[in-house]
Structure 1
Amino acid sequence: MILVCGEALIDLFVGAPSPTGLQANAVAGGSPFNVAIGIGRLGRSSAFLSTLSDDAFGTFLTAKLVAAGVSTSYVQACSKRTTLSVVATNTAGQPQYSFYAEESADRALTPEALPSHLPSDVRAIAAGSYSLGVEPIASAIETLIRREAGTRVISLDPNVRPRVVGDLAAYRERFERLLTQATIIKASDEDIELLYPSKDIVILAKDWLRSGPELVIVTRGARGPLAVFKDSTIERPSPSIDVVDTVGAGDTFHAALLAWFDAKSQLTPEAIDALTQEDVTAALDFASTAAAIVCTRRGANPPSWEEVMHFQAESS
């Protein structure tokens, strides 16, 4: 099982006004939430660790997890409201974002509320995004990772959200502390530009590798992913597609990467340390394909294992 920790929220897309009011479409979101859904869609065992509201939105999010086959046994009910990320169009036709998250449910997890132990079938812990930068959940996740590092794969995706975490310097400090406990780092070139402006990607990836992880992967959109491990650097192309929407692509890549290693019985610290160039190449290609499929759809709608295999077969 892969235990995914972090936020779940509602993206509320507000449409044009009508005589009776504003139309809106509520969509499930949150980077770790998307990762958990993505792993479940790929047929691998996953669970979600977070606090979800007992309001209508929280009930909706829980139902989405269940529908994707994600275990909710680590989800804790919370009376606080669900975070809302509101997207509307201003008079100039540009998207305008508002974030309603103070004192919300998805940041309420405390270190004291963590499960006292994890069963042996939890092979990996994945975390990232703004839940690493807001309290008390940031401290809870750091406590869990420090407790479990070395016995399970720890996979981190910073997926930086500056509007939410605010202090990027503080966020970077926590990420660098967690970096020393991680097995896998998956970051985007955009994350690196935000946290380490003008820093060369390969040099930074190698610096991270020396800090503790066994595998560092940087996604670069249409340029494809780059992986650094041991003394190797691998670059792989992204599949050629007609892009509809890039929402959820990075989360799907992370989910597919972990799902691939899990399916190949490589999701242990020892196996990640022993990965070959062929192993990493296959994992990158699978994860890139899954992310590409999401980009051909509207919204974060991750594929099944069969869809990825079919896409790869058709592409070859």
Structure 2
Amino acid sequence: MSGHALVIGEALIDAVHRADGSVQRHPGGSPANVAIGLARLGRDAELLTWLGKDDDGALVVDHLEGSGVALCEGSQDAPATSVATATLDASGAAAYDFALEWALSADAVTRPEPLVVHTGSIAAVLQPGADAVLTLMASSRETSTVTYDPNSRPSLMGEPATARAAVERAVRLADVVKVSDEDIEWLAPGEGVDRVAQAWLALGPAIVVVTRGGEGATAWTPEGRVDVRAPKVTVADTVGAGDSFMGGLIDGLWGAGVLGAPQRQALRSLDLDTVSAVLERCARIAAITVSRAGANPPTLAELDA
């Protein structure tokens, strides 16, 4: 299946503070990581984002272009490039703090009719850009599959109830939703991860996938439920693990031939064996990512090695 992916959302600088006291600065941002993951798997991916024409912005652009991601016109109209600080504990788990602004340029230009449009994290929640993102999600449904990952950032998204209302607006517009169990537990405390995921499926998506870290992942579709285990690996850190899983999910559904608006019913009726195979591959992609430092998803050659 030919075509291209449009990813909408933040690209920024991650300043990573490790438990040993060392600090590293490198490009990041959840949607940017998804775009890179797709490009490294051989997919044609473009990113619509909000960068400054500064040293940090140049670092991000070089990183994106180095992995084969095209940057949409208007993506460098921000007054400054945003920075996220990730503090890693002894286990490698990350806690985040952000200094950023999110918007979309009025002069943004994207290629027409992408096969799939993905967004998530800050982009679909933080104003003033979030309303424009939701408008793009809605209009994209005419031609494209729409995918979404809430990838919650509590320090930026306010109270869980407020954030949940914004997240569920995006869920209603999505064909595929990927969410971590930790995100659901923050957004809907005490309601139960499985119950919330099934409720989200009822809002309209064809597939809702919950990732459970080292425990694997679960998918719900109109055809039923699928559970897969995560490969056992030595974890360097978890930065970018969910993003690489999301890129793998889009890539796997792409390979299954069920992306694009004309395939919406085929996506809804996808057999569970295919869903399981896609998730198992996603879990392998995420396992490779967590086995090395930073948001560094595998190439297709590494995955197939």
Work out which of the residue numbers 231, 237, 241 in structure 2 matches 1:239. Answer: 231
CA contact (8 A) 1:47 1:74 kept: no
The correspondence of residues 102-113 of structure 1 with structure 2, limited to 5 A, is 104=101, 107-109=102-104, 112-113=106-107
CA contact (8 A) 1:44 1:262 kept: no
Distance in 2 between the 1:200 and 1:155 partners? 23
1:260 corresponds to 2:263:
no
Match of 2:294 in 1: 299
CA contact (8 A) 1:132 1:171 kept: no
Match of 1:47 in 2: 46
1:56 corresponds to 2:55:
yes
Alignment deviations for residues 27-83 of structure 1 (CA, whole Å, 9 cap, x no partner)? 111111111111111111111011211001111111111111111134522251111
1:265, distance to aligned residue in structure 2 (A): 2.2
Q: How many residues align?
A: 295
Match of 1:313 in 2: none
Match of 1:189 in 2: 181
SS state of the match for residue 234, structure 1? Answer: strand
Q: 1:179 to 1:150 in 2, by over 3 A?
A: farther
1:97, distance to aligned residue in structure 2 (A): 6.0
CA contact (8 A) 1:58 1:82 kept: yes
TM-score by length of 1: 0.86
Alignment deviations for residues 228-270 of structure 1 (CA, whole Å, 9 cap, x no partner)? 0014111011111111111110000000111122233222323
1:166, distance to aligned residue in structure 2 (A): 2.1
Q: 1:209 to 1:5 in 2, by over 3 A?
A: same
SS state of the match for residue 52, structure 1? Answer: coil
Match of 2:15 in 1: 12
Identity over the aligned pairs, expressed in percent? 35
1:180, distance to aligned residue in structure 2 (A): 1.5
Match of 1:165 in 2: 157
Write out the 4+ residue segments of structure 1 that deviate beyond 4 Å after TM superposition: 95-98, 112-115
Gaps of 5+ in 2: 89-93
Gaps of 5+ in 1: 17-21, 90-94, 311-316
Distance in 1 between the 2:33 and 2:201 partners? 26
Match of 2:201 in 1: 209
Match of 2:91 in 1: none
Distance in 1 between the 2:165 and 2:18 partners? 39
Distance in 1 between the 2:18 and 2:149 partners? 32
1:201, distance to aligned residue in structure 2 (A): 2.1
Q: 1:75 to 1:297 in 2, by over 3 A?
A: farther
Alignment deviations for residues 167-208 of structure 1 (CA, whole Å, 9 cap, x no partner)? 433321122122221100100000100101122222222211
CA contact (8 A) 2:117 2:147 kept: yes
CA contact (8 A) 1:114 1:144 kept: no
